[in-house]
Structures are given as C-alpha cells and as structure tokens.
Amino acid sequence: MAEFKRAITTFSSGQAVHRYRHKNGEWRWLESTGKPFRTATGEIRAVIVSRDITDRKRAEDVLSESLAQLSKKSRYEAIIGSVTRSVHQSINLQDVLENAVEAMSKNMDKLENVVIFLVEGEEAVLKAYRGYPDWYIERVRRIPYPRGATWKTIIEGKPRYVADTDTDTALGPAGREVGTKSYLSMPIHSGGKTIGCIHIHSFQKNAFDGEELKLVEIVAQQIEVAINNARQAEALRQSEERYRKAKDKLEIKVRDLEILTGLIQAVHKSSDLEEIYKVALDSVVELENVDLAMIYLIDEEKHEAVLHAHRNLTEDYIRRAGRIPYPKGLTWKAINSGRIINIEDAQKDPDTGPAGRDLGHHSNLGIPVIIEGKVIGVIWFGSYKERKFKENEVNLLSTLGDQIAIAIARAKQTSELEERSRKLSILSMISQAVHKSVDLNQIYKTLLDITNDLKFIDLMAVYLVEGEGDKREAVLQIDKGYPEEYLKKFISRIPYSIGLTWKIITSGEPVFYGDASDPSTPVGPVGKALGQRSLLSIPIKSGSETIGVIHFSSSERTSFSQQEIDFLLSLGSQIGTAIAKAKMFEEIKQREEVLRESFAQLSKKNRYETIISTVTRSVHRSINLQDVLKNAVEAMGENIDGADNVSIYLVEGEEAVLKAYWGYPEWFIKKVGRIPYPKGFTWKTIIDRKSRYCADAEQDTFIGPAGREMGTKSYASMPINHGDKTVGTLNLASFQKNAFDEEELKLLGIVAQQIEIVINNARQAEELQKAKEELELRVYDRTKELIDINKELTREIMERKRAEETLRKRTEQVLRYQRVLLKLAKMDNSDLHSALKKITEADAKTLGVERVSVWHYSEDRSEIICKDLYKLSENIHESGLRLKTQDYPNYFLALEESRILAANDARLHPCTQEYTEGYLKPLGITSMMDVPVRVHGEVVGIIGHEHTGFMREWTVEEQDFAASIADMVSLALEASERRLAEEQIKASLKEKEVLLKEIHHRVKNNLQIIHSLLNLQSIRIDDSRMREKLKQSQNRIKSMALIHETLYQSKDFARIDFREYIKELSTHLFSSYGADSKNIKLSIDADNVFLSIDKAIPCSLIINEIVSNALKHGFLVKKKGKIRITLHSNSKGSYGKDNTTPHLCRLIISNNGIKFPEDLDFRNTESVGLQLVCALTEQLKGTIELDKSTGTEFKITFPA
C-alpha cells in the first residue's frame, strides 16, 4: 500500500502488484492501478483498478523460467559449439584459448571476468582472458608456485566453487581488489596431470550453479583436447624438423665423408703430395663457407713457414707471405700453440699480418698439422663471411688436416725410406768395396763417385797422416770441388797442429759446424775463404789411432739435416774403415814381405801366412762374425806349434762368452762357456786392454781352476778392440811351459785386428739390418693404422645409414598414426555403437593387433561389459562379453593407477597373469596393451589390445597411439552423454512450450467468455450509459484477449509482433463502434516492433482507450476524418536470431476530429479512460504528451 500512499501524497498515479490469501487458502496475485483526483468539494478521491493476475503470474513464472533455461541453453550451446569448432578447426592452442574466453565472456550470465592459466615450470602463466583491467593482468601474468586460488586448484586437481569470497582463504589480494565476490575454478588435465585451470569470476555472490560447473568442465575438456592436438602437432612438427635436420646433417656428413673418402683414397693411392694437396684443396673450396685454403709447412733449418699449396690466393699475397719468418703472424701462433684457431673476423685480430688483411677475408680456421706429436705446419681455411666456423665444419676440416698430415707423414716416410734405401745402397756399396778391394785408389774413386751424386755436398776432402812426431803432415788424398790454385798453394799438405784438420786428428772425434764462417770456429782463413758454411769433419781411425780425416762441406748455412749428418758419419766410418783397411793391408803386405824375407827358410812363416791368409780371406769374404771366428781358431790351432787350445771370447754385459774354440773337451766348454766379470786371465786381459803372455802357468795367479785342470802350462792372451773399448780376447794355451814367443804375440795381434774388422763389419751390417727392419715395421704399422681408420669410417657410414633408415621408418609410423587419428577425429559420433566399431577396426588394422575391444563398467562397477570387439583375421565385430572385476583385482587396480598397461608377456606379467587360465590361453593371447578410458577424470572403461602368436614388445609409439585411441573413445562417450542430455532438455522445453500455448489459449478463452458475458449483460440493460460502460469493458477485455490469441498462435511465446496486433485491434474497435471506414480513415505506420507481454498489454489498453475515445467523441460534428497510429523505435539492436526490438519506442495516436477541450487537463480528469491511459503509461515507465495544435495527438514514449 505504500505505493498508493505515495501517489495520494504526491497527487500522482500509482501502480502496485500484491498478493493476498484467498479464503480457500491459496495465495492470489492482484495488479492495482490508481490515480487520485479532487471532487467538486475538494475531497481527494482515487480511482483504483484491480485485476486478478494469478494465472498470468504463474504463466509468467513458468515462461520466465523456461525462457531463462532456453536462453541459457542456447548461449551455453553457443559456447560449447564455438570452443569445439575452434578445437577441430585449429591446432593453434592460443587461438582455441582466445575463442574459449571470448565465448564464455559473451554468453554466461553474471560472469564479469574469465581467465585461463597453464603451468610452465614452477609458474602458472596467464594465456587468455577477458574483462580484467591492465593493472590486474600485470600482477597475475605469472603466478609462482604455490600461491593463490590458481595453484590450489592445480594442486588439488579438482573443481572449486566459492560462492562467497569473504569466506575463502585461497583468493589472492589482486582478486579481492578487482572486486571478485564469487568464482568457479576448473582444472585442465592432460596425460593424467593437472596442467592449468580456468577461472570465471563474478562481482556478485552465489553467481554460479551446477550448470556453469558442467559448462566450464566441458570447456576444460575441449581445451585438454586442444592441448593434446597442439602437442601432437608440435611433436609431429618437431619430428619432421628432427627428420629434416637429421637428413640435412646426414647429407652434410655424407658430403664430408665423400670428401674424406676421396682424400683417403688419394693418400693410399699416391705418395705424391702435390696430387694429395690438389684433391684436398679442390674439395674444400667447394664447401659453402670456404673461399680460401692454404697449407704452410715448417722449414726447420731456415725457421720459416713455407706456403706449399693454396687455392684462390692472390699473387700479391703469395709474393708477400709465401715464406713467413718465425714467429710472425697467425700462422706461427697456430704452429707454436698446436691448437685449432677459429677466428670470426681476421680483420680485427691483432695477430693478422698486413698481407692477410689485404687479402680481405674475415673467417679464419687454422688446423695444426701434427706428426708423431710434433707440429710441422698449419692448414688455413678462410671465408669472406664474418662468422666462426661451426663445430661440424671444424670437425670435417680437422679430419682433412689429419688426413693431410697422414699424407705428409706417409710421403715423408716414403721419401725417407727411399733416401735411406739409397744411402743404405751407398753404404752397402762402400761396404762391398771395403771387403772386395784393399786398393786405396779404387776406394777413393768409389768415394768420389758417391759424393758427386750427393747434391748437398759442395766440397769434400780426404787427408791421411804421413810422417812421425812433430814432422807429421796431413796430406790431401782426394777432393771434390776445390779450386786448383787452392790445392797447390794452401791445402794439399797441412803441417802438424795447424787448423781444423789437425784438431780432428788430435781429438779423434767428429765435429759439425752449422756456420763454419763464424769467427768462433777453428776453421782456418783458407777454409773460410773457400766459402764453407756447413761443415762436417769425420776422423779416419785404424784401431784406436786416428790416421786421417774426411771433410764434407756446403756453401749454405745449416744445410745438413740430422739424417744427412748420420748418413755422412756412417759413410765416413765406412770410408775410414776402407782406408784404414787398405793402409792396414799395405802394412800387412809390408809385414808379410818382411816375414817372407825373414822366415823364407822357416816353415813357421808358411804356416803363419796360412793363418793370416785364411783369416784375411774369411774377413773379406763374409760379414758373418761366427764364420770368421771359427776359421781363425781352426787356422791357428792347426798351424801354430805348441798350441794345444785356441779360444775367442767376446764381452756380453757382465760376462765373457766363448764364441769359438779349438782343442777343448766338452766338459771344459761347459765350465768356461760364460766367464763372469772379473774372473780369470781372460777378464784380466780385457780389463788391462793389453796382451799377456804367461810362460809358466804354475806361477800365474789369474788362470782359473778349469785351465789348471785342463793342464795348461803356458798361455798367450791378446785383447780384441772395437773403437776405444776392449770387446774380447784371443787366447792360445799349451800343455808346455814357454811354448810361445813374440812372434806368436804378433800373430795374435794381426788376427785380433782382423777380428776387429769383422766385428765392425758385422755390427754395421746388424745396425743396417735392424734399421731396415725397424723401417719396415713402422711402414707396416702405419699401413695397418690407415686400414683400421678406413674400416672405422666404413663402419660409421653403415651405422649412420642404419640410423637414418630407423628414423625414416619411425617417422613414417608416427605420420601413419597421426593420419588415422585425424580421420577418426573427423568421424560422426552421433551413433556411439557405429563410432566404437570404426575406432576398434582402425586401431586393429593400424597396429596389426588380432583383437581390439572397448569395455564399459556396469553401473555398480562390479563387472565390465564388452561394447565392441573387432577380430582382425576374421573381420568381424562382437559384443556382450562380461568379466567380473572381483576375479581380477590386480588388473583393475593397476588400470586405476596407470596411464597405460603394457604387458609384453601377458601370462607372466604381475597385473595380467590372473587372466592366464580362463582367458589368455583359451584365446591364444600372448601380449596385452590395455588403456583406461576416463571421462571427467574417472575410469569408465577400457580399450584392450590383445596380440596372439609370438610375444610382442609394445613400442613407445604404439603405446602413445593406443592412449590417443582411448581419448577418442572418451570423446565419443562424452558426445553420447551430451546428446542424451540435449534430447532430454529439448523434450522438457517442448513440454513447456505446449504448456505455455495451452495457458495462453485458456486465458484467451476465459477473456472471450467474460467478453461474451458482458455482451449478454449489456443486452438486458436499458440504461445507455451503463451499456456504454460495459462496451468499454468489453473492448478492454478484447484487446487483452487478442494479445493472448496472438501469443499462442506465434512461435515465440515471449514477444508479440505489435505492428500486426495494432491492425487487428484497430479493426475490432472500428467494428465495435460501427465506424464507417469510408468516412473515417485509419492510417497505421508501425515499425517491425516486438514487445513482451508486460509491455504489450498496457500498450493495447492505451490504444484501446484513445482510439475508442476518438471514435466516440471526435467525429460527432465532423463526420469525416482520419485516425492515425504510428509506432517507431529511435534505436535498434539485435534480439534473438531473426527479429529486432527497439530500445526506446514512441507511440503516437492522433485524429483530426473535434479538438480536445482547451481547459481540460487530461492528467486530472474524472474520465476513467484517460486516468487509465496515464496509469498504464506510468506502468510502462514512459511519458505521455498531448498536442492540440492540429487536432488531438497523444505521444507516449516508453522503453521497450
């Protein structure tokens, strides 16, 4: 009643809807409209019109609820449809998330903000949102673990709905500041893990219910599908990218291997370095990032890095940097460090020389050339691009460097082998000359021929000592390269102690000078004047005595390598031996001559000549030491009077070892075969280094017990020397005292000298043989090493080809799986049974599994029921099989806890062996792979893969595919549930539509009955005024009945097409008042406006009152005229699917009949009709104006 009190107090219209309890106990609704007025006496009265609107209220409540549900359903379907389309049309996760928040923001009631977070490491990262201010987004863009409501939902992994945030402790300060009063948080799952969540926030408490929870859950599931699709797409893209990169890398490696193989083949086929350099550098400069290449090797004697090969260098660079002196520039930096140098920009490097800068390149890669741990050079690769060489390029070019190093080493070894062979040939020739000839002239000729072939020898001279004491001279015997005038004037005879020649003779040691012109050297002025730089002087020895010297010299400083020095030393030793031997032979000849002359008459002379001749021939014919020693003891034993035993000992370590003997019994040999240091007269002779003669062994303290036991009475012992060491003894023993004299000692001395010669020859031959074997071994080892490297490269190539084939097969398999999954994702899920058949058949054929089945739990979860089983070999589908869960507890427990259960040996696997006797063996199943089917996080079924025959090992790709198939089944089940729910909602809505139609129909019928009753009543009333009032009531009821009639005939029960309604109502009023349409014209100009029933009924009554008033009073005098009704909206917006509804409407009703009285205030009149018009306008929350200028025109403006 407060509204009516306010109306009376303010003297304005009032309207109220209230309820009261009927006498039958039920509540009834009344709608009352009242307007105060003053009577002629000044009393305030009010006209109140009340009507029972209980049925309307109930219908409105039912309609409102149905419309709300229908509207919400449509909007929620729009959200699900938008998100689902986005998921299936795009694999871009961000697009899906943006579409999801946009759809929810537009279509959910009371939703103010929506946001999606995904987990990245230890943070929840904001991915999409709507409705939040910028300051809020900046604060919550990345939420660290475990803060706020977001992490609480992610950690718990289940939905959270907070109806009142005042009671919530998880919401953060940002959420409270933004005004959140209630929120719903839904976790997003993927692969058994919670990976994010969706928040929807409202500024009202209790804003959401179970429908919003289901809706957001469906959106979260679709986002999970989108995430899986995105991950699968990303995995596919990464797989393709890995395959492409692997292919690119493999192509690069194949190209690199081809380069390496070509170089290795070149290394093995040829020892020609120029050919190898050509193959290597031609291959390298074809590489994309190599423009220049050059090889520098060290010239050790000149301390320079010398350019040996190059590609694409300028003539200016070659001229300026063809030889780089130590230690300048990057080249020597690489050589000295022995490490790879990789420079991004050589132009900026301080070590780059001026020639390198002028070359204009940038990238520089230096690979040291290393042989046997020693850096012998560097290989440079350059590019005009400013970049560092990549690791694979460095590896390739390093390997090229190694191969070039191998080639250089091999060429060097080959060169050294050839040089050594040549020198061995020379030494062998000299050795043969030594043994074949004792003619000095022939030896000198041989030496001259050899030195003429040695290009590094410019000068050679041989000097021999002649004379005695201080009168001695070094006399030139042979020379090479000396000018004639120098020979005559200065150097043909060098007096004792002058110059380098006598220094060598005096010291008996070889000397080498790298620069003989240096003032510090003992080379005399004549030698320096000859231009000698490199000089090697070798003494010529006969026994321990130096009898001459050989000089080798070159005009270049330090021109002799160590190998050449070693060779010249060997050559000098051989020549010295030959000369000494020749001189000795001359001396022997002289001695033989003296012996012949002295003992011409003595047989002793002949025997001793036989001994000497036998030993000498043996020495010259053989280099086998044992043969010479054996011949010597036999010749002495057979030809020396009084000699009962002959023995020769040579030192080996700390023992004197018997090498040859004559006349000794076996027992003696066993005792004295090895004499330890320093026992007996043998060691006495070796230690003293001089001959010993014992005429009476009984008086001797050095003879051992074996000698005394043997019966030795006298002995002679002669040392055998080698160089400056005593290496053995030559012993004569006799069973007689005083058996020997000086002649036997001299004979022993001669034989000892011959033995010394053969020892020298044998040791030199042994050294040469050892050197030859060592060289052959090194060549063999290196060749074997190269073969092993080649085998390793071949093996690596095969392994890489196998890896490429495996990668290709796996990629093809994954792509095939993806194609099957995409095809299944696009299939129609409207028929669940058909969808399951397609899934099991595609699964079995793709994986090649004999049995693939889909199982579903019963309602009480006591058993699982087979929905579809596909048998691959028979190509048939079956269903209906049931298994009790209590019979297989381990299996079902494992499924609840696992993402996938893969049992390669199903009969032994702890989770599946329960099936063995009753299921696996009868069906021949050996391997199982079962995946739980989850809906809303709960396991609702299983997709089983059962393999028959041999056991099968399930691969990771097969397991991932099976999990994806399980997801497909989950989606099919969810789609089936959604369809069932939608059908139920549609059925419910259909029932409500029928009910609404029936309500409107009954209301219209009831109003029509009232109309008819009033009509009957008016017939019985004679009072015209009363009949007129009844007629007015009839028209008012008719206007409302028309509203309900229009509604139940319309498809839209919420709104009415008011343009058509105005036509029907106007026609009815004209007919009711008997207006002649020929005289009174009706003009209707209305937009296509749709009004709700709350707006339509007041508007219809307003039109009824004003038009009725015009028909009754407007044309009493003027019989002709026009009534005009217009209805327009000044702003239009979309409403529903096809129709439009105004935001603000203006209703104008005018006539050109009798004008409205000027002195009458239509707002304060006793006319019930006008009071009703004003009251209804206020009910519409509108305004009313009256224009009397051209007739009577009412303008009513109200919100739609």
Domain ranges, ordered by start, for the chain:
2-52, 63-238, 270-412, 451-573, 609-756, 825-972, 1052-1199
What is the CA angle 353-358-359, rounded to 5? 95
Structure confidence by residue, pLDDT tens digits, 1054-1068: 688 888 888 888 888
Position 1050 scores a pLDDT of 66
Q: For residue 79, give both structure tokens.
A: 């959200």
Position 1132 scores a pLDDT of 47
Instruction: Read off the pLDDT of each residue in 584-592 and give the average, rounded to a whole number.
Output: 67
Kindly give the residue spans of alpha helices, DSSP state H, lying in 50-112. Answer: 54-89, 93-107
Structure confidence by residue, pLDDT tens digits, 452-493: 777 778 888 888 888 888 888 888 888 888 887 777 666 778
Question: Does residue 57 contact residue 51 with C-beta atoms inside 8 Å?
Answer: no
Q: Report residue 243's pLDDT band, with 50, 70 and 90 as the boundaries.
A: low
Q: Report residue 398's pLDDT band, with 50, 70 and 90 as the boundaries.
A: confident
First-to-last C-alpha distance (Å) of the chain: 27
Position 533 scores a pLDDT of 74
Structure confidence by residue, pLDDT tens digits, 140-149: 999 999 889 9
Indicate whether 1104 pLDDT > 90.
no
Q: Report residue 1136's pLDDT band, with 50, 70 and 90 as the boundaries.
A: very low
Residue type, 60: E
Q: CB under 8 Å to 52, separation ≥6 — which residues?
A: 28, 29, 30
Indicate whether 66 pLDDT > 60.
no
Can you list the pairs that 358-363 forms with residues at least 24 positions away whose Cβ atoms lie under 8 Å? 358/316, 358/317, 359/292, 359/313, 359/314, 359/317, 360/384, 361/291, 361/292, 362/386, 362/387, 363/289, 363/387, 363/388, 363/389
Write down how long the chain is. 1200
Instruction: Read off the pLDDT of each residue in 600-628 and give the average, rounded to a whole number.
Output: 69
Mean pLDDT score across all residues of the chain:
81
What is the CA angle 1112-1113-1117, rounded to 5? 115
Q: Most distant CA pair in the chain: distance in Å?
A: 209
Indicate whether 1073 pLDDT > 60.
yes
Residue type, 112: E
Residue of 1175 and 24 predicted with greater confidence: 1175
Q: Cα–Cα distance between 1083 and 1086 in angstroms, integer?
A: 10
Residue of 1073 and 1082 predicted with greater confidence: 1082
Q: Report residue 363's pLDDT band, with 50, 70 and 90 as the boundaries.
A: very high
Q: What are phi and psi of 313, to 5 degrees?
A: -90, 150
Position 155 scores a pLDDT of 92
Q: For residue 24, give both structure tokens.
A: 């039958």
How many Å is the Cα radius of gyration of the chain? 63
Q: Report residue 1137's pLDDT band, with 50, 70 and 90 as the boundaries.
A: very low
Structure confidence by residue, pLDDT tens digits, 790-831: 788 788 788 878 877 877 887 787 788 888 888 887 777 778
Position 1140 scores a pLDDT of 47
Q: Cα–Cα distance between 771 and 1134 in angstroms, integer?
A: 107
This prediction has a pTM of 0.33
Q: CB under 8 Å to 63, separation ≥6 — which residues?
A: 996, 1053, 1054
Its CATH architecture, for the domain 270-412, is: 2-Layer Sandwich (3.30)
Q: Cα–Cα distance between 460 and 446 in angstroms, integer?
A: 13
Q: For residue 885, give both structure tokens.
A: 């869960």
CA 133 to chain centre: 41
191: left (phi over 0), alpha (psi -120 to 50) or beta: left
Q: Cα–Cα distance between 884 and 523 in angstroms, integer?
A: 114
Question: Which letter does DSSP use for residue 954 in this model?
Answer: P
**Which residues in 615-654 belong to E strands, given as ranges?**
645-652
Residue of 948 and 1032 predicted with greater confidence: 948
Position 285 scores a pLDDT of 79
Indicate whether 910 pLDDT > 70.
yes
Residue type, 198: I
Position 32 scores a pLDDT of 78
CA 397 to chain centre: 23
Kindly give the residue spans of alpha helices, DSSP state H, lying in 437-483. Answer: 440-453
The CATH number of domain 63-238 is 3.30.450.40: yes
Instruction: Read off the pLDDT of each residue in 149-163 and give the average, rounded to a whole number.
Output: 92
Least confident of 125-129, 610-614, 1194-1198: 610-614
Residue type, 796: E
Indicate whether 598 pLDDT > 60.
no
CB atoms within 10 A of CB 465: 19
Estimate the crossing angle of helix 1093-1109 against helix 1058-1072, to 10 degrees.
Answer: 30
Question: Does residue 821 contact residue 846 with C-beta atoms inside 8 Å?
Answer: no
Nearest in space to 379 (alpha carbons), one of 441, 446, 318, 309: 309
Q: Report residue 1135's pLDDT band, with 50, 70 and 90 as the boundaries.
A: very low
Nearest in space to 1125 (alpha carbons), one of 1047, 1195, 1044: 1195
Nearest in space to 970 (alpha carbons), one of 929, 946, 939, 928: 939
Rounded alpha-carbon distances, angstroms, from residue 405 to 367, 412, 413, 414, 782: 10, 10, 12, 14, 13
Instruction: Read off the pLDDT of each residue in 63-92 and give the average, rounded to a whole number.
Output: 72
Position 432 scores a pLDDT of 63
Indicate whether 76 pLDDT > 50.
yes
Q: Cα–Cα distance between 1007 and 119 in angstroms, integer?
A: 64
Q: Cα–Cα distance between 1043 and 1002 in angstroms, integer?
A: 12
Instruction: Read off the pLDDT of each residue in 499-519 and give the average, rounded to a whole number.
Output: 82
Proportion of the chain above pLDDT 70, given as a percent: 85
Indicate whether 214 pLDDT > 80.
yes
CB atoms within 10 A of CB 1148: 17
Residue with tokens 């000849």: 589
Instruction: Read off the pLDDT of each residue in 952-961 and give the average, rounded to a whole number.
Output: 88
Structure confidence by residue, pLDDT tens digits, 1148-1166: 999 988 887 877 888 888 7
Position 958 scores a pLDDT of 87
Instruction: Read off the pLDDT of each residue in 648-656 and give the average, rounded to a whole number.
Output: 91
Structure confidence by residue, pLDDT tens digits, 702-754: 888 888 888 899 999 989 988 788 989 999 999 998 888 888 888 888 888 88
Structure confidence by residue, pLDDT tens digits, 1014-1052: 777 777 787 877 877 777 777 778 777 777 777 666 666
| Burial class of residue 742 (count of CB atoms within 10 Å of its CB; 0-12, 13-18, 19+) | exposed
Position 995 scores a pLDDT of 64
Nearest in space to 996 (alpha carbons), one of 1051, 1056, 1058: 1051
Q: Report residue 877's pLDDT band, with 50, 70 and 90 as the boundaries.
A: very high
Residue type, 471: K
Question: Does residue 127 contact residue 119 with C-beta atoms inside 8 Å?
Answer: no
Question: Which letter does DSSP use for residue 1156 in this model?
Answer: P
Its CATH architecture, for the domain 825-972, is: 2-Layer Sandwich (3.30)
Instruction: Read off the pLDDT of each residue in 329-345 and give the average, rounded to a whole number.
Output: 89
Instruction: Read off the pLDDT of each residue in 83-111 and give the average, rounded to a whole number.
Output: 85
Q: CB under 8 Å to 984, separation ≥6 — which residues?
A: none
Name the class of domain 609-756.
Answer: alpha beta
Q: Is 63-238's fold the same as 825-972's?
A: yes
**Which residues in 329-373 belong to E strands, given as ranges?**
341-343, 363-371
Question: Under CATH, which number does the domain 1052-1199 receive?
Answer: 3.30.565.10
Q: For residue 158, give both structure tokens.
A: 């289940």
Q: Cα–Cα distance between 711 and 702 in angstroms, integer?
A: 15
Question: Does residue 685 contact residue 707 with C-beta atoms inside 8 Å?
Answer: no
Structure confidence by residue, pLDDT tens digits, 917-929: 889 899 999 999 9
Q: Report residue 606's pLDDT band, with 50, 70 and 90 as the boundaries.
A: low
Position 256 scores a pLDDT of 62
Q: Cα–Cα distance between 1114 and 904 in angstroms, integer?
A: 99
H or E element at residue 182: strand 182-190
Q: Cα–Cα distance between 56 and 1154 in angstroms, integer?
A: 39
Name the class of domain 451-573.
Answer: alpha beta
